[in-house]
Amino acid sequence: MALAFRDFSARLQQRRAVLLATLALTIAATLPLQAQTAIPATEGKKSMQYMLLIYGDPKLEPAYGTPEFEAMMGGFFALNEQMKADKVLVSGEGLQGVETATSVKLRGGKVETMDGPFAETREHLGGYYVVDVPDLDKALRYAAMVPSAAWGTVEVRPLMNYNPTEQ
């Protein structure tokens, strides 16, 4: 039984390596395409801000220091530059791992804190972008350019605007 598990584990690792290598090549191959399909800036037009929430399963992400990791980061850097050039990037950052999180609750007038994330999930929130674009379709186009969308999820949500003078 142990031998069968090791064989399965080895095959799984090989498959993962092939998938990550394929991902790295796909990202590298699409960078010129992304530059060609620039999304025009929204100067003078009404726009909406959207948050692109980047989720991923750490077990599926490329390992730090590998060529696949470097390709992924190159994809993020290229996306950052594309969004800056298109004048749609408001902000964006990566987040430290969930092991650094502290959750806060207020119950019965008392503040409760808990180390770690509020919910246990396979996919963790790893970062975000805020983009200012004319509509959801444009936000979705940028979300599709996020490199980790290939193995994770990018959730796109409009931001609330509480300023009545801007509505």
pLDDT in tens, 20-50: 444 444 444 444 444 444 444 445 557 899 9
Nearest to residue 60, comparing CAs of 144, 125, 122, 129?
122
Main-chain phi, psi angles of 130, to 5 degrees: -115, 125
Q: What is the CATH number of domain 2-161?
A: 3.30.70.1060
Q: Summarize pLDDT for 78-93 with one digit per residue, the tens.
A: 999 999 999 999 999 9
Residues 112, 104: contact at Cβ < 8 Å?
yes
Sequence-ordered list of residues with C-beta below 8 angstroms from that of 102, at least 6 positions apart, any chain: 113, 114, 115, 116
- β-partners of residue 39 are none
Q: What is the pLDDT of residue 14?
A: 55
Spatial distance between the Cα atoms of 84 and 142, rounded to a whole number of angstroms: 12
pTM check: above 0.85: no
Residue 93 three-state SS: strand
61-72 tens-digit pLDDT: 999 999 999 999
**Looking up tokens 């929430």, which residue turns up?**
53
Give tens-digit pLDDT for 81-126: 999 999 999 999 999 988 899 989 999 999 999 887 666 678 899 9
Give the list of residues 6+ apart from residue 90 with CB closer than 8 angstroms, or none.
49, 129, 130, 131, 132
Q: Where are the domains of the chain?
A: 2-161
Confidence of residue 4 (pLDDT cuts 50, 70, 90): low
Q: Please report how many Cα atoms fall inside a 13 Å half-sphere around the Cα of residue 31, on the Cβ side.
A: 17
d(CA 158, CA 33) in angstroms, rounded, equals: 26
Question: If DSSP codes are grouped into helix, strand and coil, which group holds residue 160?
Answer: coil
